[in-house]
Each structure stands twice: as structure tokens, then as C-alpha cells.
Homo-oligomer: A and B are copies of this chain.
Amino acid sequence: MVPRYSRPDMTAIWEPEARFRIWFEIEAHATEALADLGVVPASAAKALWDWWATNPSIDVAAIDAIEAVTKHDVIAFLTWVAEQVGDEARFMHQGMTSSDVLDTCLAVQLSRAADILIADLDALLDAIKRRAMEHKYTATIGRSHGIHAEPTTFGLKLAQAYAEFIRNRERLIAARADIATCAISGAVGTFANINPAVEEHVAAKLGLTVEPISTQVIPRDRHAMFFATLGVIASSIERLATEVRHLQRTEVLEAEEYFSPGQKGSSAMPHKRNPVLTENLTGLARMVRGYAMPAMENVALWHERDISHSSVERYIGPDATITLDFALGRLTGVIDKLLIYPERMQKNLDRMGGLVHSQRVLLALTQAGVSREDSYRLVQRNAMKVWESDGALSLAKLLKDDAEVTAALTPDHIDRLFNLDYHTAQVDTIFARVFGE
């Protein structure tokens, strides 16, 4: 966890106190279920909840001090709770194993983290949609291989990002369901010393589903899928961030990360507005993606469990979720305030003297009965002149001066081929597909 790439809500999930609170709730709900089954006295559950109702603060330092002696975190916690609650607390944890608490707690933490990330995605989607609507018809050059290809609109660029993050939202919801399970099944998952009803009760109370079969631990394929999904989302962040970085290049400058009016550039050079936020996002994406690998290596635990996954999760549990939360928030801010320059887009569109329309001319010639080979030759010989002039000449004009071309196409027809409307004709269709409106 790097503080500067952290936001408080997500960080709070991973703080010791939050973890202890979840542990208590698991234990108290379990005691309740055990009381219902007659395994422990009802007074035990009541004592726990009565104390909890006083909204006690959790003395993390005291629990740590006990752990320093017992070398066991769950026992340390239980001991401390017993000191607070008194004698009735001895019925807690009956028939349970530490992993029942730890893994179910992790499920709660990751579910909460996923909830924040889903909300983050919603905010990002809102920002993207708003800007997409705003620039639905803003013409801009589409580029393949970094080279001018054909016109598109800035709204379409954002609509693509919207559709991508809608997919990521669905993936995250599936991944959340994958890790939101409760296991209270004992030392090797056989329920030898605890009734499955306890698990069902705790799961229901915590909003989790029951883990159908566990082996002391919740199987780690669930977590692998979760962290792999975060890696995919991070990769989509990188894609949009890279788009902004490209657009902000000095020679392109079709958009810029927001710069407050009074803000100074990094030097005396006013053009030196660097896309540092999106560069930063690019790096953060590398990190989140990288966490998918150890998560996958965690799956193959030995026999009913070993504990090699635990250290990995102490890193990537917080690091992947906190970093992704921060990154989504930062990207939302970037999109929300992105400075978009339609005039510059138009200027860049025009800089090739109309070459971006040559494809349409080619098609029109073919449809007018010129052979494919001749059409190509006619377009090519005029296009080449435009290209050699670095866009100073106009392709439309040259074509209208070429007798072989005008034998097939009227000047008017030629002009119509250079109309951007062809390229925006289906924007409504695509927007309807993406935004459903």
C-alpha cells in the first residue's frame, strides 16, 4: 500500500480494527446459531451482542500484545474479547477453526472492496457517458497504427470506453459473487465438530452465500478469479489512459488533462502540461495486473490447505483493491475534467488535405463502373500529390481537375464524398447500442 495512491474508504476496509470488527460479528453470529442448536447457552450469544451494542472501541494494541505471547492472532482476539465480555465469552468459537473466521472475514472484506469498486465504475461510467454525449458528433480523426485512417467522432471514442467499462462492471459483479462465500466447516471441512446450520446462519447474516465445500479454507480459485478480473479492469484503465496520453502529445493536442487556470507548468514553458495523471495510471495498471500472477499461484495449496496463500493475500488484498480504487477515481477525474479541443481535432483532420476520404472516392469510382484497378490508380496519383505537398494541396480539388475522374464522377458528387456526414451517419445507431438510448 502506497499512501499517495490510497483513498480512505478502501483503506479502512483493510485496517486492523475493521478486521477485528468483522471477526467479532462472525463469532457472535456463530455463537447465536450454536445457541439456537442448544450447543451453547443462549446467554452466551446475548452477552456478546449486549457488549457489542455498547459500540465498544477495539483496542488493537492490546490484542497485538496478546498475540506477541500466543503467536496466534485469532486466539489473541478471542482472549481480548473474553476480557471485555466476561465469562460467557468462553462459549465463543466452539467447534470452529481459525480459518473459518479468517476466510469468511476475507470474503466480507473483498465483497466490501468490490462494492466500492463497483461504485467507482459507476462514477467512471457516468463521467464517460456525460462527455460522450457532449461530444457525440465532434469530428476527429480515427487512427490505426498511430496513422490517420478515417474520421470518427470523439463521442464514439468515449462510447467504446463506456462499453468496455460496462463489461468490466459485469465481470466485477461476477467476481464479487465468486468470493462472497462463508465457510464455517472445521479443521478439514467435514463439519465434524460444528453443525452446517451455523455456517448457513452466519452466511445469511453477513450477506454471503454458503461455501458448498471447503477444506478448512475457502478454495483459492475464487480469489484467483477475483484478482485476475481486477487485472483486466486495470488493463482497460491503461487503454483509456494511453488514449489521453496520445491526445495530449504536443503535435496532436486534441485533449489535455485538466489544468487549473492559475496552475504553473513544470517550468517556464507554458506548453509543458504533462499528462502525468494518465502516465501514473499506466504504472498503476502494471501493478494491479501483476498481482494476478501470485493470486493464480495461490490456487494449488497442498492437500486440505497450506498457508502459503496467506502472505500473498496480506499484500495483494489491500494493494490490488486500494490501487484499483485510487486508479478508477483518478481516471474518473481525468475524464470528468478533460480539456477537449474540437478545433484542434478539426485542424488535424484537415491536415492531410482530404486524404482521409480517399477510400470513399475509391468506392464511388468502382460503383460508377470504373474497374477496381483503374479506380485505385486514379485515386493514388492524385493522393500522392497531396501527400507530397504535406497537405497543402486539396485532394477534392485535384480530383475535380482530373478528367479521368470527372468522366465518372461529377464535381458535386466528388464534394459529397468529402462530407464528414458519411462517417457520422451511424453514430446514433452505435450510441443506441451502447447507451440504450
List A residues at the B interface (Cβ < 8 Å): 1-2, 4-5, 72, 90, 94-95, 141-153, 156-157, 159-160, 163-164, 167-168, 171, 174, 178, 186-193, 196, 210, 212-216, 219, 221-222, 224-225, 228-229, 231-232, 234-236, 238-239, 241-243, 245-246, 248-252, 264, 266-276, 279-280, 282-287, 289-294, 296-312, 314-316, 319, 323, 348, 351-352, 355-356, 358-363, 372, 376, 379-380, 383-384, 386-387, 422-427, 429-430, 433-434
Contact = CB atoms under 8 A, between A and B. Distances in A.
Given A142-B216, A152-B215, A287-B316, 13 more contacts: A5-B311, A94-B363, A141-B250, A143-B304, A145-B306, A159-B213, A167-B178, A232-B296, A235-B296, A235-B300, A280-B307, A282-B306, A293-B293
Contact of A239 (B189, B242, B301, B359): B301
B387 A270 contact: yes
Given A188-B152, A242-B300, A383-B268, A212 B280 contact: no
A340 to B, nearest CB: 15
15 contacts: A1-B1, A142-B187, A146-B274, A150-B186, A150-B192, A160-B213, A193-B359, A193-B360, A193-B422, A228-B292, A243-B303, A270-B387, A271-B355, A280-B307, A282-B306
A196 B359 CA distance: 18
Contact of A236 (B149, B221, B276): B221
Identical copies of this chain, number: 4
B144 A235 contact: no
A4 to B, nearest CB: 7
Given A147-B273, A149-B272, A348-B251, A294 B298 contact: no
B301 A287 contact: no
A358 B269 contact: yes
B242 A302 contact: yes
A283 B310 contact: yes
Given A148-B271, A296-B232, A156 B189 contact: yes
A380 to B, nearest CB: 6
